[in-house]
Amino acid sequence: MVTKTKTTNVKAVANQVKPVKASLSYKQTLRPGYTGDSVSELQAKLQSLGYYNLKIDGKYGPGTRAAVARFQAAKGLSADGIAGNNTFAAFSNTGFTLPPVNTDNDGPAVCTLEYAPVCGQKTVNCVTEPCDQPQPETFGNKCQLRTSGAKYLYDGKCDTTKPVDVDEDTLSDEEKKELIEKLEKEIERLENYIEEIEEKIERIEDSL
């Protein structure tokens, strides 16, 4: 009997799921469709505060969005279910520490060490009704983009102009390669722009 009890206890310990820490650190704006550790940490934090009672799976689905919306409403924010800068700031009295620009104790701020421009867009939490979102803007690097709470769109400076129509038959092989690369980036930019529009439509539909 003693041996059986020990075996049962060992199995019980082995079957325990390692808890996700409920401490939260800001990395980026989180929204439906996102997955990963950041979402798991958000779910754990919301669960510890009583706003989330589902499985912590790292998937930003309807349940997570509803929990975020409940937390936002309780804090007097626009309950859109998107965990942006204002939402994370609301955790300041519940164990969340607003992050400074990433720094190294032995040197200057990491975010200022490199200029590698990226295009991003910030999301505004509308208070009473759908509102226009800010235009995409260029950030010095991805670190600056993340700390600002903006969503990454694509590498390079923001470009809202239409691609130049050229006669590819007159281009050299090297110029054709450069054109292909430029057009691929343009496709990526447009895909992200379409995604932003779809999310805006979804927010408007949710407000109806």
Q: Domain map of the chain by residue range?
A: 21-93, 112-207
More reliable by pLDDT, 39 or 134: 39
Read off the pLDDT of residues 87-128 as tens digits, 9 standing for 90 and up: 877 776 554 443 443 334 433 344 655 677 888 887 766 555
The sign of the CA dihedral 76, 78, 81, 82 is negative
The two three-digit tokens of residue 82, written as one number: 């998107």
pLDDT above 90 (res 64)? yes
* CATH fold of 21-93: Muramoyl-pentapeptide Carboxypeptidase; domain 1 (1.10.101)
Judge whether 23 and 41 are in contact, CB under 8 Å: yes
Judge whether 140 and 111 are in contact, CB under 8 Å: yes
Give the pLDDT confidence score for residue 97 in this predicted structure.
Answer: 42
Give the pLDDT confidence score for residue 146 in this predicted structure.
Answer: 79
Read off the pLDDT of residues 5-35 as tens digits, 9 standing for 90 and up: 444 444 443 344 444 444 455 567 888 888 8
pLDDT above 50 (res 190)? yes
Q: What global pTM score does this model have?
A: 0.39
Task: Tell me the average pLDDT of the chain.
Answer: 71
Label residues 149-178 b or e (16+ Cβ within 10 Å = b): bbbbbbeeebeeeeeeeeeeeeeeeeeeee
